[in-house]
Amino acid sequence: MLTVKALNADTSFLVTFSPSIAPQGPAASQFPGSFTILIDPWLVGSAQILSAKFSISQHKTQACVSSLAELPEPDMVLISQDKPDHCHEETLKQLPPNSGAIILAAPAAAKKIRKWNHFPKGSVHALKPFSTNDDSRVFRLEIPSFSSNGLPGEVTVSLLCPKRDLSGLHNAIGVTYRAPTTVLSPARTTYIELPPTPPLSPTHSPVLGRTTSMASLTISNPLPLSTPYNPRPLTPNSATPLDRERTLSLIYSPHGVSYPVLEPYASTHMVQQSALPLTALLHSFDRVDNPWYLGGNIAAGVPGGSEIARQLMARCWVGAHDEEKDNRGVSVMKLKVKRMEVEEVKHSLEEKGISAHVARLQPGEEMRMRSDAC
């Protein structure tokens, strides 16, 4: 089961992967074999680039929590880029220095976080851009089985970025999760997509303990690619052992990235992981553009996201980075924004024959996607 919870109205999420036999709700993150990822947290304060005269942004909509201390401690923190609305110092420093969470970040963001000297040396890992010729660039974590008769699971994280991106905005992060198995793992069924659940009041949300003992997680030695990269049509009928649950997969690309950047990852790693169709796409709905001298395209919106959804047969598309923030400064004076409502996104996808479930989550709302054993 994959649960995506919006922490703010922009692009901060708490993602929980759990075995299909796990209970729903907050208890899912506590179930053996579950794995939680905190993505680009920005809860309080402003996000400033260079100076307030150039660019400063503030939330108009309050986050569902005011501190990371109100959330269960995640197993992993994922930072997609070094811009302050993604790599927010004030929020990230709410994590205790001795947090057991693994911090994975794009290279520039990892460098920035290390300079804060808040987290112990060695706890911040820089993601390497994905390559079909070097599987060591895929970050892997083994999740031990919680049954003596079961098989271990695995989480993989990959950074997908174009060779040239002057703005440094357009990348994606691919995550796959294969649950550890037990004798209780059920037979194969299909995905079930549920509507968003209403937010819980922060004052009534219990602070839960760690989801997984990090001492029991192993950073796996990378495995060599079984075959060289060879582009081929993607199909949902990738071979998955019948005693395994279907691999859950997520693509997070708040600003968008062209599909050709994702295609090598999809047709090698995702196929090898039996991670198609894509479980969830986190991508902007709104298209945002600046003049070329101020960075050009800022967010690809529906035109870019629909192509990814079509190619990867996405089951669910959750909007990201679409909050109407209080933006000020010379860098935003000439922004052009084409906003898209959920029904407009659905209609656009239907016209292209894409059947993905579409949702825009408010702070505290969550979307659950369930996949049982294959």
Q: What is the pLDDT of residues 344-367, one digit of tens each?
A: 999 999 999 999 999 999 999 999
> Residue 318 pLDDT > 80, yes or no?
yes
Region 294-303: mean pLDDT is 91
Least confident of 106-110, 246-250, 295-299, 321-325: 321-325
> Residue 285 pLDDT > 60, yes or no?
yes
d(CA 219, CA 217): 7
pLDDT in tens, 44-93: 987 888 777 777 888 789 999 999 999 999 999 999 999 999 999 999 99
pLDDT in tens, 171-230: 999 999 999 987 554 443 333 333 444 444 443 333 333 444 444 555 554 433 334 445
Bigger pLDDT: 37 or 227? 37
Please state the domain count of the chain: 1
- The reply to whether the predicted model has a pTM over 0.95 is no
Looking up residue 93, the CATH number of its domain turns out to be 3.60.15.10
| Dihedral of alpha carbons 164, 167, 170, 174, sign | positive
- The pLDDT mean for the chain works out to 83
Confidence band, pLDDT 50/70/90 cuts, at residue 149: confident
Nearest alpha carbon to residue 368 among 93, 106, 3: 3
> Residue 14 pLDDT > 50, yes or no?
yes
Which residue type occupies 244?
A: R
pLDDT in tens, 262-275: 999 999 999 999 99
Q: State the residue range of the domain holding 101.
A: 2-370
d(CA 246, CA 178): 7
Region 123-147: mean pLDDT is 93
Residue 286 pairs in a beta bridge with: none
State the DSSP H helix or E strand holding residue 344, giving kind and residue range, or none if neither: helix 342-351
* Tokens at 374, concatenated: 């294959």
